[in-house]
Structure 1
Amino acid sequence: MCWKVGLRISEAIEFDLSLEHQQSEYKNLYLLRGKRQKERWVFVGPEIVKELKKRNWQPHQTNRVSFFDFLQQIKKEMGLSANIELSPHTLRRCFATYQAISGMPLPVLQKVLGHSKISTTALYIKDSDLGNLVKFRPV
């Protein structure tokens, strides 16, 4: 959820499948309560929804510690070195970087990520040297 949807760890833990938008033209949009209980809609792809339903996902069925432990287990299984950071926030930044490289405008990305300031979103891009990636990407 952090990588595919760009959720914060707290949002991923609290994610509720029952909060899907009821109008068919907005299928796969889910209501989240982010930082400071601010509401926003996020798109959750059908493959993720299917996987969550298969696992009988319920809000709060995991916690931060088990989430971090799970990521460390994946890191070990992938044979990644100990000095490579793999955290929910790293995955969220990867999501943001991928979306920006794919052409998502910064103001849209800001809303998707739930940032109140566009400068916060811009930091995600600056930190990844995204400017050069976008500038030189193949057309």
Structure 2
Amino acid sequence: MESRLQDFIHFLIVEKGLAKNSVDSYQRDLKNYMKFLQNVDSANVWNEVQRVNITGFLSHLKSEGKSAKTIARHVASIRSFHQFLLREKVTEQDPSIHIESPKMERSLPKVLSIDEVEALLEAPQESTPLGIRDKAMLEVLYATGIRVSELIRLQMDDVHLKMGFVRCIGKGNKERIIPIGKTAIEVLEKYLTDGRPKLVRKKHKDDSLFLNHHGKGLSRQGFWKILKGLAAEAKISKELTPHTLRHSFATHLLENGADLRAVQEMLGHVDISTTQIYTHVTKTRMKDVYSKFHPRA
């Protein structure tokens, strides 16, 4: 079992080009699945796994109190794995083919108001190299809508300030070019002149755009810690996640009349239905404004 799993992981990394977080998620899910199957006599060989074994595993997850979202993710991992085994001729059938994912209520993403975004962007103290860096990171996130994982992977040669765009590598190793506005360009220029040079360490070279105080590329956890601190400084009471500025970027664009397809391309969504969730956010916000300010609401 383990050797087949490693073959699949290799496939995800080399052929699919998935990010480390995605690969780790597949591996965790499938290890749980394999652990359950070891208790099933008929599942010692992958070719003997039946639909009932998979449904039994999903029932087991439900009995443990796992959420619909977690179970749906396991279903997706199992389905991809069995399709891989079939394609590689390890098995002669795919027992996951008619397994349905649990239905989930799609929650609307939480977004900041424009005033809250302004407060957050003004929170960093620009008197220090780290403060200049923090300001630049927030401005780039809000100007481009890129994911935090994409932000921290940006390299020096991914930024083209004279031409006004950044190049980022997203999910599936796909490249996209995203325009950045005047404000973000000015803040980045200041960071590259007054911030980053003071964070560089001679003993090792790191071409990451955003560096920590050790002169190395910033981690996702490092950014998350910075964001929470700046949110407190800005007195933002809403729950913030690393995706909050991305959600706000998309929502504010659509509220101001941006084309849905253009927003989809900038966000790097494969399916436009993923982007359409933001149109629901704008409608909800319009209803809130109407209810609050219309005299006969």
Please tell me the TM-score bracket, short chain as reference: 0.7 to 0.9
Q: Following superposition of structure 1 onto structure 2, how do residues 23-42 of structure 1 map, counting pairs within 5 Å?
A: 27-42=163-178
**Which sections of structure 1, spanning at least 5 residues, go unmatched?**
none
Give the letter aligned to residue 13 of structure 1: I
The one-letter code of the counterpart of 1:44 is I
Q: Give the structure 2 partner of residue 92 of structure 1.
A: 246
3-state secondary structure, aligned to 1:56: helix
Query: 3-state SS of the aligned residue for 1:2?
Result: helix
SS in 1 for 2:275: helix
Deviations 1:74-133 (A, max 9, x none): 11112233xx2112211100000000011111111100110000000001332x2x1363
Match of 1:16 in 2: 155
Write the mapping of 1:54-73 to structure 2, written as runs, cut at 5 A.
Answer: 54=193, 55-56=195-196, 58-59=208-209, 61-73=217-229
Q: Among all aligned residue pairs of Structure 1 and Structure 2, give the percentage whose two residues are the same amino acid.
A: 30
Query: Over the residues paired in the alignment, what is the CA RMSD in angstroms?
Result: 2.6
Distance 1:120 1:43 in 2: 21
Instruction: Count residues in correspondence.
Output: 129
- Matches of 2:218 and 2:273 in 1, distance apart? 31
Q: Is residue 7 of structure 1 aligned with residue 146 of structure 2?
A: yes
Q: Where does 1:37-52 land on structure 2 (aligned, <5 Å)? A: 37-52=173-188
Separation in structure 2 between the aligned mates of residue 47 and residue 16 of structure 1, nearest angstrom: 20
User: Counterpart of 1:39 in structure 2: which amino acid?
Assistant: E
- 3-state DSSP of counterpart to 1:88: coil
Partner of 2:269: 115
Does residue 1:106 correspond to 2:260, yes or no? Answer: yes
1:99 and 1:21 map into 2 onto residues whose CA distance is 22
The Cα shift of 1:2 comes to 2.2
> For residues 78 and 19 of structure 1, what CA distance do their matches in structure 2 show?
30
The TM-score normalised by the length of structure 1 is 0.79
- Could you list the per-position Cα deviations for residues 21-67 of structure 1 after superposition, in whole angstroms to 9, with x for gaps in the alignment? 69x7xx11222111111011011234323433232283362111111
Q: Name the larger-Rg structure.
A: 2
- Whole-angstrom CA distance in 1 between matches of 2:155 and 2:269: 21
Report which structure shows greater RCO (CA 8 Å, sep ≥6).
1
- Structure 2 residues without counterparts, runs of 5 or longer: 1-139, 198-207, 211-216, 291-297
